């Protein structure tokens, strides 16, 4: 019991730190929409570019665009539902709330997207820039998939490993992709990652509570 309480305190401390980090970033971006840090980071990321890398980065980001994102989420949920994982299917659908969350914050902060000549624009995007909706969605959706691969013991190992590896690759490559494509600043993707972790934690806690109550 003491060990469990200690873990809870540690997790709450981590989530609190993430929340503070996100709020500080939000305040920083609100008062300094274009910072030296963002410009320097984009310059470093975009310094070495070629057509092949352009194609790879576009492919990584494609999953987060409309209509690909909702199709992938609903398709994944249907697969879980067909194989009798109804609760898992429902929680997978909940990851689409990331779009509502990011769009709401974007409207409030109203930060413009990166533009030329400050950065090289490979993919033109709409909506506001802060936070990165792609990063938030990837952390929430692919992060939750990774959790399911660990928690659902009846899923075969030959499925668990590739799904987990692919999910983690998407999570850690999407921030780089968004900056490389000129779609976001460094602070956008960092905020998206922090917010994604917070949302993933909340979703995971709700799922695990349901799992324990069912047992």
17-34 pLDDT, tens per residue? 999 999 999 999 988 888
Residue 165 pLDDT > 60: yes
- Which pLDDT score, from 0 to 100, does residue 64 have? 93
Instruction: Give pTM, 2 decimals.
Output: 0.92
Whole-number Cα distances in Å, 205 to 12, 37, 126, 201, 212: 12, 35, 33, 6, 10
Q: How many domains does the chain contain in total?
A: 1
Tell me: the pLDDT tens digits for 39-65?
999 999 998 888 999 999 999 999 999
Separation of alpha carbons 29 and 129, rounded Å: 10
What pLDDT shows up at residue 124?
A: 84
Q: By residue range, what is the domain housing residue 150?
A: 2-214
């Amino acid at each position: 019991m003491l060990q469990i309480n200690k873990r809870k305190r540690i997790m709450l401390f981590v989530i609190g730190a993430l929340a503070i980090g996100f709020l500080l970033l939000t305040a920083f971006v609100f008062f300094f929409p274009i910072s030296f840090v963002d410009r320097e980071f984009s310059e470093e990321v975009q310094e070495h570019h070629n057509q092949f890398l352009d194609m790879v980065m576009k492919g990584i980001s494609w999953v987060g665009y409309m209509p690909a994102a909702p199709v992938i989420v609903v398709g994944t949920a249907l697969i879980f539902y067909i194989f009798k994982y109804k609760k898992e299917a429902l929680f997978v659908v909940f990851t689409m709330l990331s779009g509502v969350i990011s769009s709401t914050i974007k409207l409030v902060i109203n930060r413009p997207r990166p533009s030329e000549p400050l950065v090289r624009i490979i993919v033109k995007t709409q909506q506001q820039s802060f936070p990165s909706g792609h990063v938030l969605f990837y952390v929430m959706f692919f992060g939750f998939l990774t959790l399911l691969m660990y928690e659902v013991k009846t899923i075969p190992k030959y499925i668990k490993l590739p799904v987990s590896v692919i999910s983690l690759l998407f999570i850690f490559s999407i921030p780089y992709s968004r900056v490389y494509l000129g779609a976001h600043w460094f602070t956008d993707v960092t905020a998206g990652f922090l917010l994604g972790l917070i949302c993933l934690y909340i979703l995971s806690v709700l799922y695990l509570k349901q799992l324990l109550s069912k047992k």
